[in-house]
Structure 1
Amino acid sequence: MSIVTPIQSKSGFTRMDNDLYEALIGAELSGRELRVALAIHRQTAGYNLESACIAASYIAEMSGIRREDVSRAICELIRQGVIYRDGGSRSPIGFAPIGEWKIDKKNTHPNKPKEVPQCGVSNTSNVAFLPHNKERNTNTTPDGVVVYAERQPAQAKPARQKPAMEACPYQDIVDLYHKALPELPAVAILNDGRKRALQARWRESEVHRDLSFWADYFCQVKASQFLMGQVPGRNGSKPFRATFDWLIAPSNFVKVVEGNYHA
């Protein structure tokens, strides 16, 4: 009896290139990144398209992942060269050539051979046995009398402290802003208010605690004609142009990450 399930053409199916399939299997992507990549493949190759405009909210509905986390996964996939996007956050998405992928090495702890436990050997048997801790210590007097001493209870181990969170590299983030967005107003003074805002964004997510995320964030801003002041204002008003303070404000930060901003 055949165990191969035939494809039901009436319900539809999506073909995947073998090289892409095998590359996704071998790539060290996180579970969330892989699920988002598969959703993108479904919405592109599934409709015989090389790229398509896919809203983060739609992928979130497909995958059950929060929209904000979908946007972050898309940014990570773009940064690692797995997918590409022509233009801003609302532009079409497609898979990049496999040879251009630059996947992060996430497994930083290579497998090591297990240590062989030490064994004691009985004088009356050839069977090896594992050493064990006695509940009572024994002492022998000069007369040969064995005296048992109750074992003292072990002292409680001090509670493990959580590792301190890495301090926010304020100046490095500002330098990335200046490098990516020289057209926008420069940050002349890194005052306490700006440091507090950066510290809050830095602490919000582990994804934010990476300078590569901020480099991608500012590149995403640069790709937006609206944020760069290249879109005429309404009723002849002056075009809007983002500033550093605007970009690191809580509500605006989420809008840019999720691509949920418009003129």
Structure 2
Amino acid sequence: MTNIVQIQSRNPGGFTRMDNDLYEALIGADLSGRELRVALAIHRQTAGYNLESARIAASYIAQMSGIHREDVSRAICELIRQRVIYRVGGSRSPIGFAPVNEWSIDKKNTHANKQKEVPQCGVSTTSNVAFLPHNKDINTNLTADAVVAAVASTGDDLESEPEQQCAHKPGQPAPTKTDRIPYSRIAEIYNTVCGELLPKCLKLSAKRKKLIQGCWNLEINGVLPFRKGEFWTAYFTDCLTNKHWIGENDRGWTADIEFLTRQDKVLKVLEALQ
């Protein structure tokens, strides 16, 4: 009697083949449990139908995996950021697996008495900045209004920088309070999300602060979405889906923090979700 199980005879419903390199890479990848489950669901919906990429709604992956849809969206965002999967085009474009040699997985803390290491790139799921229930969903009728509404109801406000006052000398007008917008934290989010593909922000000039201030005070349907760290993270992540902005053009030009915080560019990205 043989111990070999004939797949076709025992499983008339069929089976999904997986490339050996991809299979071994997923085994060795230091992904979270949710990220791995979402990656496997994406593989099932692509390779399982002999497709390199496919449009897959986060709600459908949630149904397959039993993971809450918002957590699926966060996992998709993380997998894209770590270059495990990719989207060609925009937030509603098909998803597929990137070549294994292009993956950039975060280092995660595996020792109970060891301080957590800084992620290699991007913001990990253990970061203080939680990801927005992200707009990288497909066929879910997600609009810019829905994204703004989600931000209004989830996550913590982005903390303002400490307020400072200049010394007040007798006989002189009282000094005005300094701007409390957390410019340095926003620049840090930009560098974390975009620093490997776009020029890093090394200095916050007056012009850059003015552009960030415009985003900070941008009101959409009664909500100020850019006052939450996760919205900045989600926004900068979406900007990276524009190939022209990340240098895939005949001039090799790339966007920078000034370009991405211009209000016309901000509105272009948000309105593309409708």
Quick one: which amino acid aligns to residue 228 of structure 2?
R
Instruction: Name the CA shift for 1:97/1:63 in 2 (closer, same or farther; >3 Å).
Output: same
Closer/same/farther in 2, CA of residues 31 and 187 from structure 1, 3 Å limit = same
What is the Cα deviation at residue 6 of structure 1?
Answer: 2.9
Q: Quick check: which has more Rg, 1 or 2?
A: 1
- Is the 2:83–2:104 contact (alpha carbons within 8 Å) kept by the matching residues of 1? yes
- 1:12–1:22 CA distance, 2 compared to 1 (3 A): same
Of 197, 211, 226, the residue aligned with 1:187 is 211
- Matched AA of 1:187: L
Aligned mate of 2:107, from 95, 100, 105: 105
**TM-score where L is the length of structure 2:** 0.50
* Residue-pair matches, total: 172
Output the TM-score relative to the length of structure 1: 0.52
Q: 1:51, 1:95 within 8 Å by CA — same for their partners in 2? A: yes
Q: Of Structure 1 and Structure 2, which has the larger fraction of its residues in strand?
A: 1
1:18-97 to 2 correspondence within 5 Å? 18-97=20-99
Distance in 2 between residues matched to 1:40 and 1:33, nearest whole Å: 11
Q: Give the drift of 1:174.
A: 6.3
Q: Is the contact made by 1:168 and 1:199 (CA closer than 8 Å) also made in structure 2?
A: no
Q: Relative to structure 1, is the Cα distance of residues 111 and 16 closer, same or farther in structure 2, using a 3 angstrom cutoff?
A: farther
Q: Classify the secondary structure of the residue corresponding to 2:23.
A: helix
Shift of 1:45: 0.5
> Where does structure 2 lack aligned partners over 5 or more consecutive residues?
115-156, 162-181, 199-209, 244-262
The 1:110–1:6 alpha-carbon spacing in structure 2 relative to 1, beyond 3 Å, is farther
How far residue 219 of structure 1 moved from its aligned partner, in angstroms, is 2.9
Q: How far 1:213 sits from its partner (Å)?
A: 5.3
1:161-200 counterparts in 2 under 5 A?
Answer: 167=159, 170-172=182-184, 173=186, 176=190, 187=211, 189=213, 197=224
- Structure 1 residues 46 and 190, CA gap change in structure 2 (3 angstroms): same
CA, structure 1 residues 110+98, in 2 after alignment: closer, same or farther (shift >3 Å)? farther
RMSD of Structure 2 on Structure 1 (CA): 4.1
Structure 1 stretches of 5 or more lacking a match?
113-164, 181-185, 203-207, 224-240
Matches within 5 A, 1:115-134: none
